Amino acid sequence: MEAKDLISRSQILVGRRPITVYKPTPRGVEFCNHILEPYEIMFPRRDSSGRIDKDSLALHLFFI
């Protein structure tokens, strides 16, 4: 995803430990809005009881 410019990676130091932070780029947000959002509408991740499908939760967290 980084090679396709959908996310950017940066590192920050917390004490002596480097922490890698990934953020969506404007192109990644545009991709989400134009490509993934229509699929979300057509195929919602919630099951019949209203709970979110745990297998697709990681993708949902990425775009928050």
- pLDDT tens per residue across all 64 residues of the chain: 999 999 999 999 999 999 999 999 999 988 888 888 888 888 877 666 666 555 555 555 555 4
**21 lies in some domain:** yes
Per-residue pLDDT, 40: 80
Residue 49, domain extent? 7-62
Q: How many domains does the chain have?
A: 1
**13 lies in some domain:** yes
**30 lies in some domain:** yes
C-beta atoms surrounding 61 within 10 Å: 8
Give the global pTM: 0.56
**1 lies in some domain:** no
**2 lies in some domain:** no
Cβ atoms 30, 46 nearer than 8 A: no
